[in-house]
């Protein structure tokens, strides 16, 4: 489990195919020497397992599912990534619960600077609108962000100067692809509602939530 608070950015050194897997070597990593085989690391929002670690780099394996459904599938040498190690049981919990299971590849559809901060709009499938709510949490490229607006086909987040400096979100341009993970609580609630309302219109109401035990 991760929190969406990025520890550092790094760059992909190499991408090598090994059977149906792809091995990514990631360099310029300040904590690489602390990693061991089997450790989990969020790489731009995708939870990957370390297979080799060195003083300043480590290597992870990407299975076909991850390769096909995250931006890492088209990332080559030089591509910069956000990194976060799994949260220790004794660590402080900040950000929000991020599993590292990417839900979709979205794209930047609008960008606006507001003084030192910046607002970005990302595309959103119509069938996923209920998974993103205003003032709720969403992970973009592994970064925990707060949704400030949600439309029918997009959602907006605000980036403070620190986020622009310390993550790869600061260099995004319109059209760039990004990994998006919805809040895990939203996904569970959506599944629960759909299971309970399969024979009606599926709308979520206060009475329906109360009937499910939410009060």
pLDDT score at 128: 85
Confirm whether pTM is higher than 0.85: yes
pLDDT score at 59: 98
Count the alpha carbons within 13 Å of 17 in the hemisphere toward its beta carbon: 6
Helix (H) or strand (E) holding 19: none
Query: Token pair of 183, please?
Result: 């809040």
Using 50, 70 and 90 to split pLDDT, how confident is the model at 191? confident
The pLDDT tens digits of the residues spanning 136-178 come to: 999 999 999 999 999 999 999 999 999 999 999 999 999 999 9
Residue 199 has pLDDT above 60, yes or no: no
pLDDT score at 127: 84
3-state SS record for 29-51: CCCHHHCCCCCEEEECCEEEEEE
Report percent pLDDT > 90 for the chain.
Answer: 77
Ranges of CATH 2.40.30.20 domains, the chain: 8-85, 104-190
Residue 14 has pLDDT above 70, yes or no: yes
Find all residues with CB under 8 Å of 198, minimum gap 6, and list them. Answer: none
Find all residues with CB under 8 Å of 61, minimum gap 6, and list them. Answer: 18, 21, 22, 23, 24, 48, 49, 51
pLDDT score at 206: 66
For the segment(s) 8-85, the CATH number from 3.40.1190.20, 2.60.120.260, 2.40.30.20, 1.10.357.140 is 2.40.30.20
Exposure letters 194-206 (e unless 16+ CB within 10 A, then b): eeeeeeeeeeeee
Find, among 160, 161, 162, 155, the residue nearest to 178 by Cα: 155
The domain defined by 104-190 folds into: Elongation Factor Tu (Ef-tu); domain 3 (2.40.30)
Ranges of H-type helices in 38-154: 64-69
Q: Give Cα 176 distance to the centre of its chain.
A: 15
């Amino acid at each position: 489990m991760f929190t969406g608070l990025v520890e550092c950015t790094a760059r992909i050194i190499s991408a090598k195919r090994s059977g149906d897997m792809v091995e990514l070597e990631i360099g310029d990593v300040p904590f690489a020497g602390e990693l061991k085989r089997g450790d989990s690391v969020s790489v731009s929002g995708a939870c990957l397992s370390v297979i080799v670690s060195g003083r300043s780099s480590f290597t992870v394996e990407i299975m076909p599912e991850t390769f096909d459904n995250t931006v890492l599938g088209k990332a080559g040498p030089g591509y910069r990534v956000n990194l976060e190690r799994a949260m220790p049981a004794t660590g402080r919990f900040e950000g929000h619960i991020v599993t590292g299971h990417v839900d979709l590849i979205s794209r930047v559809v609008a960008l606006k600077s507001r003084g030192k901060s910046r607002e970005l709009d990302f595309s959103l499938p119509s069938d996923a609108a209920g998974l993103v709510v205003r003032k709720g949490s969403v992970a973009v490229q592994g970064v925990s962000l707060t949704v400030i607006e949600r439309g029918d086909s997009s959602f907006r987040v605000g980036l403070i100067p620190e986020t622009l400096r310390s993550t790869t979100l600061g260099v995004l341009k319109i059209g760039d692809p990004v990994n998006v993970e919805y809040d895990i609580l939203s996904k569970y609630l959506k599944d629960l509602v759909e299971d309970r309302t399969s024979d009606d219109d599926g709308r979520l109401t206060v009475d329906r939530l109360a009937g499910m035990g939410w009060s």
